[in-house]
Structure 1
Amino acid sequence: MTHVAQAREQVSSAPLMIELTTDPARLREAQALRYAIFSEECGASLHSPLDGLDHDEFDVHCEHLLVRDRYSGQVVATTRLLDSNGAGRAGGFYSEGEFQLVGLRHLHGPILEIGRTCVHADYRDGATISMLWSGLAQLMKERNYSFLMGCASIGMGDGGIQAHAIMQRLRERHLSREWLNAIPRRPLAELHLPSNITAQLPPLLKAYIRLGAKICGEPCWDPEFNVADVFILLHREQLCPRYARHFKAVS
């Protein structure tokens, strides 16, 4: 039994439970949630061959972490997980489609990429996010991943003002090319920022930063989702001490 499965049993009396799956039927539930959020709520132009589902060629090579409401049975949060073995079958990591990841082949230790993370609008609270991170932490413990990486999105509905303002803020404290240099394949166009702009980090990006993740380069524009994607890398040895105990290896 995996630690994720054990965690699911341990919280059997809680309103939410965690699942790790490759089952096609459960994957479709995750894809339906992704479609509802990315396409219907956020207006992404998804080119999926399946109506009402956010589906791409990476899904079959990934494991999928689900948070489910145990009373309604509804999947309320999800993220997909792609390790080096899965990336080998898929022809690369998803992030490599957006960034040239200089130094990726020289990283020492197992790598886990997360993506397509989303939470149902009625469940966007600390409990749901904590459940998702708990399942991720258990998996990292069990398999001893050294690096966690992925893309965190910033909406471009304002023409890129927030994206540029957030990057201006991130460059000051959280930009590092020590391990990787992420060169965007579609860089953002230059933009003059108003002097009174306030940068608000999106929740997922803020969560990565709190964990101790670093930004490895400038953002990439994703035209299908109309977002600026920031590449993040988290080395397990550089975790914020407040969260490190959740990710330490277990016996």
Structure 2
Amino acid sequence: MRLDQNSFTIRIASSPEDVAGAQRLRYRVFVEEMGAHTSPEDAALRLERDAFDAHFDHLVLIDEAARPQDPLDRVVGAYRLMRSDVARAGPGFYGQSEYDLSLLLDSPRASVELGRSCVHPDYRGGMAMHLLWSAVGEYVTRNDIEILFGVASFPGANPEPLAEPLSMLWQNHLAPPDLRVRTLPQHYVEMNRIPREQIDQKRAMLAVPSLIKAYLRLGGCVGDGAYCDHEFNTVDVCLVMDTGRMQSRYRDYYGRTEGILK
């Protein structure tokens, strides 16, 4: 599908309709594509939503040229973002149900939780994700964010078939101690499952989902332990990115984007 960048608007949701558009896209991706569970009420509306939505900033990518039957379907890319000051003031981070995030909550450095990242299947493969990442970069700059983190997922809730990529991530990309969040003890799934000498590094990386690879290219690293999310039918890892440690070419690029975020 050929895309014209000028046909897109990207903004922090400014209306209930914007948020509902993000939830509609999330339903399509997480429920219809990935098999996540949802309530009968949300299934009837085709929305994927939770109580945390009220506390997040919702980044939405809108195709202004699209003319779908339902206006909610004009949202073709989405992220939700929660700053640490918002988390501390009330709900906490969404990821606290899976990970001990006290290192980040107690830090004086400003952080933001990235979650529910998704792109409509017709818009995958380049520009849409580039626009979302550029907008995240501008958001980070505007809010003086130093640490970005969020859960990213492998499809399927069984860690056994993922032993090689999980081990590779732990062995090669484990976060430094000051950023090494850990899966809660009751949910902890060992990532380091195969000795290094038995891993085919190329094959392991090919098995890593594209979003996780994008975080790694930005200089991201993984927390200690995976989490099996049976509700969403995924195995999750927590990615953490320190803007001070990001590879300079990405930091410079995303740090200088201005004007894309409405």
Deviations 1:90-119 (A, max 9, x none): 421011111112422342321111100011
Equivalence map 1:232-247=2 (5 Å): 232-247=239-254
Native 8 Å contact 1:15 1:71 kept in 2: yes
- The residue type paired with residue 24 of structure 1 is P
Partner in structure 2 of residue 52 of structure 1: 46
Native 8 Å contact 1:188 1:228 kept in 2: no
Deviation at 1:181, TM superposition (A): 3.2
Distance 2:142 2:103 in 1: 26
Native 8 Å contact 2:111 2:145 kept in 1: yes
Greater share of residues in helix: 2
Native 8 Å contact 2:159 2:228 kept in 1: no
Sort the Cα spacing of 1:93 and 1:192 in 2 relative to 1 into closer, same or farther, 3 A: closer
Native 8 Å contact 1:107 1:179 kept in 2: no
What are structure 1's unaligned runs of at least 5 residues? 1-11
Sort the Cα spacing of 1:232 and 1:13 in 2 relative to 1 into closer, same or farther, 3 A: closer
What are structure 2's unaligned runs of at least 5 residues? 68-73
Partner in structure 2 of residue 187 of structure 1: 188
Distance 1:213 1:196 in 2: 21
Partner in structure 2 of residue 212 of structure 1: 219
Native 8 Å contact 2:191 2:225 kept in 1: no
Distance 1:179 1:189 in 2: 20
Partner in structure 2 of residue 105 of structure 1: 105
Deviation at 1:190, TM superposition (A): 8.5
Distance 2:15 2:166 in 1: 38
Residue 113 of structure 2 is aligned to residue 94 of structure 1? no
Partner in structure 1 of residue 155 of structure 2: 155
Native 8 Å contact 2:164 2:199 kept in 1: no
Sort the Cα spacing of 1:223 and 1:19 in 2 relative to 1 into closer, same or farther, 3 A: same
Sort the Cα spacing of 1:189 and 1:148 in 2 relative to 1 into closer, same or farther, 3 A: closer
Distance 1:102 1:181 in 2: 10
- The residue type paired with residue 36 of structure 1 is R
Deviation at 1:172, TM superposition (A): 2.4
Equivalence map 1:132-143=2 (5 Å): 132-143=132-143
Deviation at 1:144, TM superposition (A): 1.1
Sort the Cα spacing of 1:29 and 1:105 in 2 relative to 1 into closer, same or farther, 3 A: closer
Partner in structure 2 of residue 35 of structure 1: 27
Return 64-73 or 230-239, whichever deviates more.
64-73
Sort the Cα spacing of 1:28 and 1:72 in 2 relative to 1 into closer, same or farther, 3 A: same
Distance 1:13 1:231 in 2: 31
Deviations 1:48-94 (A, max 9, x none): 75331111011011111111112016111100011123213542101
Sort the Cα spacing of 1:190 and 1:202 in 2 relative to 1 into closer, same or farther, 3 A: closer
Native 8 Å contact 1:45 1:225 kept in 2: yes
Distance 1:192 1:172 in 2: 10
TM-score between both structures, scaled by the size of structure 1: 0.85
Sort the Cα spacing of 1:155 and 1:96 in 2 relative to 1 into closer, same or farther, 3 A: same
Distance 1:78 1:128 in 2: 10
Deviation at 1:167, TM superposition (A): 1.4
- The residue type paired with residue 35 of structure 2 is G
Moved over 6 A (4+): 189-193
How many aligned positions are there? 239
Equivalence map 1:74-93=2 (5 Å): 74-93=74-93
Deviation at 1:224, TM superposition (A): 0.4
Native 8 Å contact 1:166 1:201 kept in 2: yes
Deviations 1:128-162 (A, max 9, x none): 110000100011111110111110111126x3244
1:227 corresponds, among 223, 230, 234, to 234
